[in-house]
Structures are given as structure tokens and as C-alpha cells.
Amino acid sequence: MSSNAKHTSGFSHEKIETNNLLMIVLILLVVAIGGAVEIVPLFFQKSTTEPIKGLKPYTALQLAGRDVYQREGCYGCHSQMIRPFRSETLRYGHYSVAGEFVYDHPFQWGSKRTGPDLQRVGGRYSDEWHRIHLIEPRDLVPESNMPAYPWLEKNPVDAAALPAHMRALRRVGVPYTDADIASAAQDVEGKTELDATVAYLQSLGLALK
């Protein structure tokens, strides 16, 4: 066998780099293995799969507020992920841990933070402060670039959708009882989306200080 034949047999750099399909397959294989090595062990760690002490599922009103928060894209500017750096913990409080979010589907962690992190905002301001801030942020923070959400004060909570939403969450592990689900629509009767959003914000970060 010639020396040239020996050099061209098998997976040479030249073969991989000149064959697009082979390159794609190998990249996907490496990414899949690397992802599995990092992700699979997390499913067996209690710190990532069990709720921290004191964590409770969202009430019907808080859950409705979370839906509004997602619908309006608030998570795009407020990451709800406090990183374990002194500069962040001094400003926002205890860093975020996975056990706080086991009832969140999907969770709100993100890498972008245009506005302040809201993970520990619960209880920091009054309900009235949040109401004013959501209707017109510049009434409280003149330099704010946050959009106003005045329509939330007029929109009623979609009470009819909550029981089905809570049943779906129960299927993925959120411990809602039959009584919680049965009373959901009544619990939000007469409430607006503004009431719900404030309730959600006031619930954030209370289980861990």
C-alpha cells in the first residue's frame, strides 16, 4: 500500500473539513454528548429538582399575573437570575438557586438585563407603587425607558383559562389540589390583569432571602 493511501484512509482533517455533511454530523454528535454530560446529572441532584423550604405554588391570581408578565415580554428585560457575584447580591439579594423555580414552567432565567433584576422584588415596594409604576413608570422613575402598561388596569383576568392551566401544571409536578383548581376562577373574580401582575411581582423571591 502506498504512503498516499495510508494518509487518506479514515477520518482525516482534510476529509472532515471538506465534507459539509460529515462536518455537520460530527458537530451535532459532539454537542449532543457534551450537552448530555452537563444536563443529565442535574436531573439526579436534589438541589435542582426539589423545592427549597417554604416554596409554595403560585395562587390563582399570582399565576394569572405570571401569564401577563410572560405575554407582555417583561422577562426580556428582567432576567430574574441573580448571579453569585458580590456586586449583584449586594444590590438584589441572595443569588438565585434552582430550587426556587421547580414550580415555574417555563422558568424566567435569562442573560439579558435591561431593567433591574426582579427575583427578590417581592415585598420591597407597596402594591400601590407597583400599580403606578406599571401604568406609567416615569411617574416614579423619570429616567426609566420601560414602556407603560395602562391597559392592564382595564383588562379583566381570564378566569376561565385558569383551571385548565393549573391542571396542566399539576401534570408536570406542581402540587395543586382539586380544591385549588375548583376555586381558581372564583379567586380571581373581579380582578384585573394589573391586580394579577402586582400579585405575581409581590410573590417573587420570598422563599429565600
Instruction: Tally DSSP H helices, then E strands, for the chain.
Output: 10, 0
Across-strand partners of 156?
192
| Other Cβ atoms closer than 10 A to 190 | 9
Specify the pLDDT at position 19. Answer: 84
Q: How many CB atoms lie within 10 A of CB 117?
A: 21
- How many C-beta neighbours within 10 Å does residue 120 have? 22
Q: Are 120 and 91 within 8 A, CB to CB? A: no
pLDDT (tens place) for every residue of the chain, 209 residues total: 455 555 555 667 778 778 888 889 999 999 999 988 888 886 776 666 789 999 999 999 999 999 999 999 998 899 899 999 999 999 999 999 989 999 999 888 887 889 999 999 999 999 999 999 999 999 999 999 999 999 999 999 999 999 999 999 999 999 999 999 999 999 999 999 999 999 999 999 999 87
Pairwise CA distance, residues 39 & 98, whole Å: 13
User: pTM surpassing 0.85?
Assistant: no
Residue spans of alpha helices (H) in 79-140: 86-92, 127-135
| Model pLDDT, residue 20 | 87
**Contacts by 122-127 with C-beta closer than 8 Å and gap 24+?**
122/201, 122/202, 122/203, 122/204, 122/205, 122/206, 123/202, 123/206, 127/198, 127/202
- What are 139-152's pLDDT values in tens digits? 999 999 999 999 99
- What residue type is 130 in one-letter code? H
Q: How many CA atoms lie within 13 A of 33 on its CB side?
A: 5
pLDDT at residue 4 in the model? 53
